[in-house]
Amino acid sequence: MGQIEVSLVEAAIAAARDRDQAVAEVPLEAIAQAAGISRSTLLRRLGGSRAALDEAVRDAGVDPGGRLPVRERAVAAAARLIADRGLGSVTLASVADEAGCSLPAVHAAFDGRDSLLGAVFDRHSPLPELIAVAQDPPAELEQLVHRIYRTLITVLHREPRVFPALLSDLLSRPAGPAAELMRHNVPKLVAALTALLGPHQDSGALRSLPFPILLQLLIGPMLLHVVLRPGLESALPMPPIDEAAELFAAAFLRAAGTRPD
């Protein structure tokens, strides 16, 4: 196993087993915790790169897992960093470290930090899933609204949680990658939801509100709930996330529908 300590190899294998992941997918923080040392100490013992650790694991007879292309690994690594340590922790160097690849390789895959963040936001945005609902919509308004909310909650609540960082970037940088993502995707979302909700407005099942207001009424409360929920859970009793989605769906139908029952 070369110069890599046996205890570090064993810690990597144990962390992978506990997380039900391939060794190559386990963050360095988890391996360091399993080894009982700090992340910086682990990196120092690995010589500054996890590539040697993966090779040592392979020499020990355990497949560390297939190596995805640098771009895929970097996007996944950046998402983990955002979820674990916030948007400010994402630099090309920290992503290269987390992804187990070289900094020049990350530079070659992305045209700077904003290009990387744009790829992360695009991967974890709820917009594509909401657009996909339009491809097979339920006929009944109530079923449609509940499907939209279930889609939202599935995308926004799954790990790694990137949406709060996306929203932060959108609000703080009007020309940033999140805003660019919105410019590209929102027209598609509006077109899809217009096709979904328009017939229900025409039939009288939905109030004839201006569509931007209807869209905000549909999506806004649930998005805000998902963003604020982690901070509120420690202070207030919160319903299970699936139940919250059903409650928001029912509230929308009461507010915007013409058949409150």
Cis peptide before 237 (omega within 30 of 0): no
Q: What is the pLDDT of residue 2?
A: 47
Contacts 24+ apart (CB under 8 A), 210-215: 214/256, 215/190
Q: What is the pLDDT of residue 200?
A: 92
Q: What is the pLDDT of residue 261?
A: 53
Query: Which residue stretches of the chain have pLDDT < 70?
Result: 1-2, 49, 66-68, 260-261
Q: What is the pLDDT of residue 35?
A: 92
Domains of the chain, first to last: 6-59 (1.10.10), 70-110 (1.10.10), 125-256 (1.10.357)
Q: What is the pLDDT of residue 78?
A: 92
pTM of the model: 0.64
Q: What is the pLDDT of residue 1?
A: 43
Least Cα distance to 96 among 105, 87, 88, 86 occurs for: 105
Interacting residues of 50 by C-beta distance below 8 A, sequence separation 6+ = 28, 43, 97, 100
Tell me what percent of the residues of the chain surpass a pLDDT of 70. Answer: 97
